[in-house]
Structures are given as structure tokens and as C-alpha cells.
Amino acid sequence: MDIFSPLVADDQLHANFKSIISPSMHVERAELERWLEGFPDRDGKFVKEFQTTFNSSFWGIYLFALFNTYGFELNWAHASPDFHVKSQFGDFIVEATTANAAVGKPAEWEKKVPIGEAVAAKDFWPLNREAMIRLANAIRAKAQKYAQSYVRLDHVKTRPFVLAIAPFEQPDFQYQYDRAIRAVLYDDYVDETAYFKNPERYPDGPPSVKLGYVEKESGAEVPLGIFNTEEYLDVSAVLFSCTATWGKVEAMAQASQNLGFVAATWGGPGGKPRGSMLLRGQHAETLEDGLQVFHNPNAIRPLDPHIFRRTGVVQHYFDKHKSAWIHEERDRCLHFRMVNSMRVIRVEPGSAVS
């Protein structure tokens, strides 16, 4: 499948797509093509959607590559939901979605500075508040889709139903790690703003607080802790990553001639973050680094934790035998990564570059 030859006029191409078709990005494009190998265009619209809307299609490519990395078998016999996955620990259904910018709010590709003023000041509340609202909105829409149609499908109704969501709702989205999604699902908000304002008050790190809800600008309340309610019993788990971006393609394209460095934050002992700054080519990460699986403790059809168990993959679930919450792999997981590149175009004698 050729996803890089433009099918529409230049003014219809997505800003992110335009940035990756530069001649200097040929190694990175080859890496994405490796992810894409074997991907079926089931409705004949995928290439155009990738070129004109980008993020949701990119997330679909990432999930496809992720499932292949795990060695899962994909059943394409049904048009929807997005993935019918067969693993050694059982089949499950995955519906993919993205959290996008609200109408009138800046899109992630409209970023004007590398890091916003609030995040630079270590005030993460504005970022996380917006992320909670947009993530909750996207999850609610897909849960309603399940209740209205998917649940009637024979291949769906007896299997765990998993929502795979990626956050692209604002320019600084990649800084949220798990703060917003944990609040949305479990009403467990890690308040980094409080910690950075008064670190001596919290010697064990940022406090976890229960907010109950988050308020929109209109004053409407968005409930948090949806996995603690009966409304979402059919959602077995949520797959989430804020690092499954073009930066992952760049980080994995080890043969790239583009210069630069990779800034990353990884989990350390007890989950305490540790930073790294390495030249491109020295930084190493896998496709699954940054992936998190949030299990619904009240799900009617639970997802087996064995399915995604792997080094660096964080899984949050309640162990009924231990009567305790488990947070697997948070001491060696990828929290954040940003690639800063200077693109290099090498021109052979007698050739032309447009």
C-alpha cells in the first residue's frame, strides 16, 4: 500500500502528513512502511484519510504493528469494530479512537512553541484538565457505539471489548503521561502541580487525589472514575499511549541521517521518573514502550493481563487474591519522549531535490 504519494491537492493535505514527506524523512517513512506491512485497506479510504486527517489513521497503523509485534492473529472477516484479535490467552475486540481538540481550541499541530507556558512552569493542571474532558468525551462516544450496535454482533458480544485511545487533543498532549486517563477511569489523579509547588510536603512524590469530576468552561461537570460505575461494565480495558506518535517512528529509525537528540523520561525505582538526553541513534525504544493497559475491575468480560504482559508495558489492574492494585512495569516504562531533529538532505551530484 502506497500511503505517501499524495491523492489530493496540497491544500487538503494534513500538516503532519506534509512534514513527513520531506526528502530528508525517507528512512523514517521506510520505518512506518515496516509497521504497515500486511495492513488491509478494508474500505478503500485509508490512504486518503491518512493524508488528510492523519492522527486517527496513524494510531490505527501503530495498533496494527503492535499486535503483530505480540504475534497476535487478526481476523478481518468482519467490517467492524476495528480489530478482532486472537491471542494465546483468548480472543478480544479492539475499537480505536483518538481524543481530539474541542471546537475553537488549538489543534496539536498548531503548536507555536516547543512547550507551553503552563507546562514549562510545571503547572500541569490546565493540560490535564483539558485532557480529562476530551478523553472522557471520546470514551463515552465509543461506549455508546458499543451499546447501540456492536453488542448485537455475534463475534463481539461474548468477547472482551477494549477501547484503544490516543490523546491528540492539544499542543502539549505528550506531557500528560497517565495523569488524565487514570483520573477519567479510576478517579485517581496524580497532582504534580501540588507537588512542584511544595515538594517538601510530599516526600513520597506527587499525591493522588479523588476529584469526583472535572468542570468544563461552560460549568458542566464531567464525571471521573467511570470504571467505578455500572455504566461501563462492557468496556473490559483501555489501551493508551501518549508516545505512539511520529516521534516513535523517528526514535526507531536508527539509520536516519537526520541529526539531533532525543529527550525522554522513563520510570525508575518505585515509578519515580528519570530523564535521559541522548543523540539520535543512541536512544533505543521498542514499539510497545509507552503502552499502558488500564483494566476495568468491574468488567463483565475481563481482559486477561497475560495478553499484554511484556517488559516496559504498564498494566493497571486489581488483584482480587491480594486485594491490591497492581501497576506492572511502572519502574521501567516510557513516560515521555521528544525528538529534536535537524533534517539533513544529501544531494548526489547531478540530482535535483524539490
- What digits encode the pLDDT tens for the residues 104-146? 999 999 988 889 999 999 999 999 999 999 999 999 999 999 9
Q: At 316, give phi and psi (nearest 5°).
A: -110, 120
- What digits encode the pLDDT tens for the residues 275-299? 999 999 899 999 999 999 999 999 9
Quickly tell me which residue has 513527513 as its cell: 20
Lowest-pLDDT range of 40-44, 182-186, 210-214, 332-336: 40-44
The H or E element containing residue 158 is: none
CA 10 to each of CA 15, 45, 53: distance values in angstroms, whole numbers, following the listed order: 10, 18, 13
Question: Rounded CA gap, 272 and 206, in Å?
Answer: 10
Q: Of 238, 224, 234, nearest to 143 (Cα)?
A: 234
Task: For the chain, give every domain's residue range.
Answer: 10-342
The H or E element containing residue 197 is: helix 192-197
Lowest-pLDDT range of 79-83, 268-272, 331-335: 268-272
DSSP-assigned letters across all residues of 292-309: EEEE-TT-SSPPPTTTT-
Exposure b/e, 303-319, CB count within 10 A at least 16 = b: bbbebbeeebbbbbbee
Question: Rounded CA gap, 169 and 9, in Å?
Answer: 26
Does the pTM of the predicted model rise above 0.85?
yes
The residues near 35 (Cβ < 8 Å, ≥ 6 apart) are 61, 62, 64, 65, 249, 287
